Structure 1
Amino acid sequence: MKLEDIPRLSLGFLPTPIEKMERLSAELGISLSMKRDDFTGFGGGGNKVRKLEFLMADAVAQGVKVLITTGGHQSNHARMTAAAARKFGMKPILVLRGNRPASYQGNLLLDHLFGAEIDFLDPDAYFEQINPRMEHHAAQAEARGEKAYIIPLGGASALGAMGYVNAAKELSEQYAARATPAPDYIVAPVGSGGTLAGLHIGCAQYLPNTKVIGVAVTGSAVPFSERIAKMANDGAALLGFEKTFTPDDIRIETDYIGPGYSIPSEAGNAAIKLAGDREGVLLDPVYTGKAVSGIIGCVQNGTIPKGSSVLFVHCGGSPALFPFADLLTADREA
């Protein structure tokens, strides 16, 4: 099956621009650009819109009435899934890792404005309870006679990965239109892995000389390289693309997670301030700040050579800045 034959609903404001980061490039000694997928627009923007274009087409075709997904307190995916549910007349249910907060800030505020039902899970029990809890909500919906649809964490599935196969195709067309070579490296944050799986499939098809690097922003019970290779193989099979990915093909940088998922890191916070100061670009402490700190670290240790051309996939997430305002302004008086 060709990519164009897979049902897809238009949600994002595509194609998103490629922006050259002139001052950061000079400072780091590389040619750094950003694919501005924070500008996808729908539901506050971000990379998950691309996945939802394919996942929502499947849900709408099945007559779904209740859309269920999961994530952390500041999940961009949960926020955009709630928005997509409302756009197509569905009820969103979000099962989120973390206790009920005293106040709703950032993405949680937006979840509330989209009218999502939010089920908070104790973070220590989350990984044991998440699938049974989502199945419970689905069973309740079905008992009411409402078709339910569960989207996995981050929209990470073979179908969801098609969003970033399509993004790689979009990039190849943009570089061709500019008559400029594709980048040496594409770097993206890795949480659930669907974006990176799609980029691997898409680059193998459309940007064969570009290497893909993922910067982990969380840990994983199953090594990312194994999980992403399997997802990429499932996605390639969906497309009838005769390509096999092994864990050795999947490059993941794991030194930039910091204390844990959704917990800001010192290096990530420094990257947020650097991007804001040098380029007027907003990064966030959950995903993009840590990923850009990974680019900086890889240049400093030589794993990304000086003089390389690097494209960073800006996955959005600026709403997650606001719950951490006190932390990010701790140096204000100084």
Structure 2
Amino acid sequence: MARRNFPKNYRRRGRSRRPYSRRPGQAPAPLSFWAKISAYFSKPRPRQQLKTPQRVLEVGVGSAEVAGSSDSALEFAPSLFFKFPELAEKIPWLSLRGSLEVSPPSKSMHIQHLFGDNHIFLKREKLDADHIVENQAKKMEFSLAAALKAKKRLVGFGYTGSAYIWSLAQIARMFGAKLELCLLNRPMGELEKDRQKDIQKWVSAVRICSSESSYELRRKWMSYKSAWTKAQFLDFEGINSEAVLGYISSMGELRDQVDRGLIPSPDLIVIPVESGVSLAGLEIGRRIYEFQKIDILGIRTRKFYHMDRDRLANLANGAIEILNRHLNQNLKFSFKPESFNILEDYSQDAGQLDQLKVDRWRHRLMDLDALEFDPMNNARAFLALSEYVNSKPISQKKILYWNTSSALGSLSVELKPKKTLIRRRA
């Protein structure tokens, strides 16, 4: 019987033909033409940056034309560039919020009775979010622009499961940057635990320190090692003066909405405070955009690493210094530690509001007005605002609450209905 000539990539076992299997030490089979095409188009592509900010000013407030795009896509541009056009070519900026229109604050009618006879308005960062979680896009659009342009290897520092670290890991994936993390451990809710799982999958290396002393030691060692690795070090939780610039633009967006009649000018703006970067930006924006009659109140929700009023004033003054380097006419004001109005009584460390009470409050808001609040910060701050307003002689005020994060997640304390036993009398 004549022997059959089988193809080179096949081998004969009995009467069957089976595909060629790779032997140990043997080179893999080359990819086919279509496999190469599929691998090329499946590579992640970084989002386009705004390369010619001067063209932004021709479009209008809240949008920007992306240079080099054939379809003339519109994206967010900071309102700071419209107030001071000379900054557009001098301050690096990164587009992170996508092609959305700035949403105006809305009045909440179903929860009005929880705040006395005051009028409650909600600014929801969720409606302006794109890929990056809510308010983190505003903090990172200035602070990360120079770092991503200068280096491809980043080293970030922060808390385990924090929204900043989670967003930083997303941005590193988008732009193809290698990210290494050194995290300080702290108690986490279910939402933060889910974020931490994503973080460990997305970055190249994660080192978790259980105490502040071990964290400082690890940071010094990584700083020494960066002399030959050429890595770009980022500030702890992204706290720097560049991050303050993002929330200056928030007050510019509010000024535009008030002038257009979309919302009445508020009497009081309330924002949760963890690092304080958002509060510092709002205070600077209040002076730049001439909101003299508005008071801004921050509510501390959690103790933050090496963060106090002195450092907050330094961050605000540093942001003013950055602006004055490039402005045609310098800003004439500065900040002191007592310039910031912050309630410290309602943080998790103070113990005035236990987490179970906060979770019940969060459920109540969902039932009344379908409002989403994260269980660790915004739900606590909103409950603190209700108790603060009802305990003080505050009435007939237009209060704007800045909901910086409303990501849904499992409750840190599982709510179980109480079982009541009904007994008949004998």
What TM-score, normalized to structure 2? 0.68
Q: What is the CA–CA distance in structure 1 between the aligned matches of 2:157 and 2:145, rounded to whole Å?
A: 16
Structure 2 counterparts to residues 191-270 of structure 1, below 5 A: 191-206=274-289, 207-219=291-303, 224-240=308-324, 241-259=331-349, 265-270=355-360
Residues 292-301 or 14-23, more deviating: 14-23
8 Å CA contact 2:96–2:131 kept in 1: the answer is no
Q: What is the CA–CA distance in structure 1 between the aligned matches of 2:343 and 2:112, rounded to whole Å?
A: 21
Q: Pick one of 246, 258, 265 that aligns with 1:175.
A: 258
Give 2:206's aligned amino acid. I
Residue 287 in 1 paired to residue 372 in 2? no
Which residue pairs with 2:328 in the alignment? none
Q: Pick one of 129, 139, 161 that aligns with 1:51.
A: 139
Question: Kindly, what percent of the aligned residue pairs are identical?
Answer: 20
Q: Pick one of 395, 404, 425 that aligns with 1:315.
A: 404
Which residue pairs with 1:162 in the alignment? 245
Q: CA deviation at 1:78?
A: 0.9
In angstroms, what is the RMSD of aligned CA positions? 2.9
Q: What is the CA–CA distance in structure 2 between the aligned matches of 1:260 and 1:323, rounded to whole Å?
A: 21
Q: What is the CA–CA distance in structure 2 between the aligned matches of 1:314 and 1:116, rounded to whole Å?
A: 32
Which residue pairs with 2:54 in the alignment? none
8 Å CA contact 1:188–1:196 kept in 2: the answer is yes
Q: CA deviation at 1:162?
A: 0.5
Residue 18 in 1 paired to residue 105 in 2? yes
- The DSSP-based 3-state class of the residue aligned with 1:255 is coil
- The DSSP-based 3-state class of the residue aligned with 1:96 is strand
Where does structure 1 lack aligned partners over 5 or more consecutive residues? none
Which residue pairs with 2:392 in the alignment? 302
Residue 83 in 1 paired to residue 170 in 2? yes
Higher relative contact order (CA 8 A, sep 6+): 1
Distance 1:158 1:275, change over 3 A: same
Which residue pairs with 1:118 in the alignment? 206
- The DSSP-based 3-state class of the residue aligned with 1:306 is coil
8 Å CA contact 1:193–1:228 kept in 2: the answer is yes
Q: What is the CA–CA distance in structure 2 between the aligned matches of 1:19 and 1:331, rounded to whole Å?
A: 32
Q: What is the CA–CA distance in structure 1 between the aligned matches of 2:148 and 2:142, rounded to whole Å?
A: 10
Select the structure of larger CA radius of gyration: 2
Residue 106 in 1 paired to residue 194 in 2? yes
Residues 179-188 or 285-294, more deviating: 179-188
Q: Pick one of 27, 31, 37 that aligns with 2:125.
A: 37
8 Å CA contact 1:79–1:107 kept in 2: the answer is yes
Q: What is the CA–CA distance in structure 2 between the aligned matches of 1:120 and 1:97, rounded to whole Å?
A: 6
- The DSSP-based 3-state class of the residue aligned with 1:284 is coil
Relative to total residues, which structure has the larger helix share, 1 or 2? 1
Cα deviation code 1:86-141 (max 9, x no counterpart): 2121122333332799x98322133235336322111xx22x34344244345445
- The DSSP-based 3-state class of the residue aligned with 2:193 is coil
Q: Pick one of 363, 366, 372 that aligns with 1:273.
A: 363
Q: Pick one of 142, 145, 149 that aligns with 2:233.
A: 149
Q: What is the CA–CA distance in structure 1 between the aligned matches of 2:205 and 2:333, rounded to whole Å?
A: 41
Give 1:23's aligned amino acid. H
